[in-house]
Amino acid sequence: MVNKLLLQSIINKYYLDENEKAKWIIKDNKITINFISPTQEVIGTVTHNNFGMEDCELAVYDTKKLSNLIGITTTEVILEVEKKHKISTKLFISDSTFSSTYALADPMLIPSSNATANINEFQATIPLTKESIGDLIKAKNALSDSDNLTIITEEDLTERKLCTFRFGDEKGHNNNITLSLEGDIDEIGIELPFNANTFRNILKANKDIEEGEMKINSRGLLKFTFKTEEGVKSEYYMARKEEDTF
């Protein structure tokens, strides 16, 4: 039996409004979900060490549909699996009121992903809190028609080292919003473009954090790590924009 809110939190952390395909691996009550976005802009992993379900692998092809089936349930959900030749083919979802069946996909149809990157050096580490995540989401939503985000490391007039997030386009008469956060910054002058929508979706999925941080590699990579009070851990690597559209 799995708590509905916990299950929805795990799903939201990999779905990010676009990642439909993922493989759930449940072993010894631990669930691990590795994923890669359709654009290959983000790779990540979500884990939880107390997931009440039998050992199995679930090939999820349509996460939104699965989420809808879970959404109609009450507080506690029973998840059971039907297997053929050791391959999971159906997921049965039930509570005291509803019983649903979700058809699982062929595991070969799920993109292979592993949430690792061959970069271990980062030039800045920015702590993220519920408050700072909320502020960043508000800034992006205020410019909903723009997907431009520039992340800059700089010093202010008092020599404080800051990470500045600039949403929108700096050029011409276009609108933009800036927000700065303090952090452990070793390199000043980094200036990198990212997709603001993807950045916002990662933060939005992790609003329930207990602790979190973002690391910056000057070659164009962000690494996010989050943990909730319920023990859900999520990690993301996000690549800079391929082309500078600013």
Write down all domains in the chain, each with its CATH number in brackets: 2-37+46-109 (3.10.150.10), 124-239 (3.10.150.10)
Q: Which of 122-136, 139-153, 160-174, 214-228 has the lowest mean pLDDT?
A: 160-174
pLDDT of residue 126: 98
User: DSSP per residue over 108-141, as a string?
Assistant: GGSPP-----S----SEEEEE-HHHHHHHHHHHH
| Average pLDDT of every residue of the chain | 93
Q: Collect contacts of 131-138 with beta carbons under 8 A, ≥24 apart.
A: 132/181, 133/203, 133/206, 133/207, 133/209, 133/212, 134/207, 135/179, 136/165, 136/179, 136/199, 136/200, 136/203, 137/200, 137/203, 137/204, 137/207
The per-residue pLDDT for range 83-134, each reduced to its tens digit, is 998 999 999 999 999 999 999 999 999 987 765 666 779 999 999 999 999 9
Indicate the angle between helix axes 4-15 and 63-71, nearest 10 degrees: 160
d(CA 216, CA 10): 25
pTM above 0.85, yes or no: yes
pLDDT of residue 52: 87
The per-residue pLDDT for range 38-75, each reduced to its tens digit, is 999 999 999 999 998 999 999 999 999 999 999 999 98
pLDDT of residue 116: 60
The per-residue pLDDT for range 25-48, each reduced to its tens digit, is 999 999 999 999 999 999 999 999
Confidence of residue 245 (pLDDT cuts 50, 70, 90): very low
- Burial label for 242, CB within 10 Å (0-12, 13-18, 19+), is exposed
